[in-house]
DNA sequence: TCATTAAGCATCT
DNA sequence: AGATGCTTAATGA
């Protein structure tokens, strides 16, 4: 899941060394091409990181929950990244100097920061692999499969994954259109393979789900 | 295969 | 009542 990645909770002990800011839902934390020169650390709430494409469309990249950080210390040319508060959120900004100060007090944080970067890099490496290997609709099935593997619970003959996931979110992650996501979910429901509820995903037929990886899915 | 658009329904706040 | 989310259908690339 492109969500928070490895949370650097240790950093919360040093927020007095940074600058606290609050954002209300919908407010922009970082405008496209804005030069901030600071690291953004999420204390509470949730921020959405997205990229603005050349033709002006917004492409979701990942969402940042508690203790996630977004590095805006360095700027890349035309990276067109945008960060918007998905909920009322509190963040803490650290400049390079402030960050060095934190590191000087607690070297373990450097390791946590590395781990955070590692999990981010690992996710996007896998994502590019997925995109090369599978079609969008198969990626959708894969997402459900992976979710089940990583956090599914087996009871009463079915697998249950407790997660709040809207169709729109799924479409952002997989790159499918949200209408297409809806249609695939509809056909999966009809085939009694999988069903998505508000707070959880129930998988009735794991074998069939796996089978569909190879064949693709008609909908 | 998948995206786009539009329209209608359901549910939540 | 308005916002948000889901579904279906038509059409086009």
Query: For residue A219, what pLDDT is reported?
Result: 62
Does the CB of A185 sit below 7 A from strand C?
Answer: yes
Residues A100 and A150 in one domain: no
Residues A154 and A168 in one domain: yes
pLDDT, tens digit, 9 for 90 and up, residues A91-147: 999 999 999 999 999 999 999 999 999 999 999 999 998 888 888 889 999 899 988
Domain membership of residue A31 (yes or no) is yes
β-strand pairing of A19-23 with A89-95: antiparallel
What length is written for chain A? 219
Burial class (CB in 10 A: 0-12, 13-18, 19+), A36: middle
Residues A44 and A97 in one domain: yes
Q: How confident is the model at residue A191 (pLDDT cuts 50, 70, 90)?
A: confident
Query: For residue A93, what pLDDT is reported?
Result: 97
Residues A13 and A56 in one domain: yes
Does the CB of A182 sit below 7 A from strand C?
Answer: yes
Distance B7 C1' – A219 CA (angstroms): 21
Which structural domain range is residue A139 located in? 135-215
The better pLDDT of the pair A14, A156 is held by A14
Chain B positions under 7 Å from a protein CB?
Answer: 1-6, 12
Distance B2 C1' – A210 CA (angstroms): 22
Domain membership of residue A94 (yes or no) is yes
């Amino acid at each position: 899941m492109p969500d928070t990645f490895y949370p650097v909770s240790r950093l919360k002990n040093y927020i007095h060394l940074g600058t606290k800011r609050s954002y209300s839902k919908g407010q922009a934390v970082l405008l496209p091409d804005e030069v901030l020169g600071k690291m953004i650390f999420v204390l509470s709430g949730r921020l959405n990181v997205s990229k603005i494409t050349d033709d002006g469309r917004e492409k979701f990249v990942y969402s940042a929950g508690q203790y996630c950080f977004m590095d805006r210390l360095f700027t890349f040319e035309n990276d067109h990244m945008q960060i918007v508060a998905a909920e009322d959120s509190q963040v803490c900004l650290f400049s390079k100097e402030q960050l060095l100060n934190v590191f000087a007090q607690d070297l373990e944080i450097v390791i946590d920061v590395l781990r955070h970067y590692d999990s981010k890099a690992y996710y996007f490496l896998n994502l590019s692999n997925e995109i090369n290997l599978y079609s969008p609709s198969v990626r959708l099935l894969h997402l459900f499969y992976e979710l089940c593997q990583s956090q599914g619970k087996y009871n009463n003959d079915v697998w249950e994954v407790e997660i709040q996931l809207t169709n729109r979110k799924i479409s952002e992650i997989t790159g499918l259109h949200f209408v297409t996501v809806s249609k695939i979910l509809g056909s999966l429901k009809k085939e009694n393979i999988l069903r998505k509820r508000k707070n959880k995903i129930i998988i009735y037929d794991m074998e069939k789900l796996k089978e569909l990886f190879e064949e693709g899915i008609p909908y």
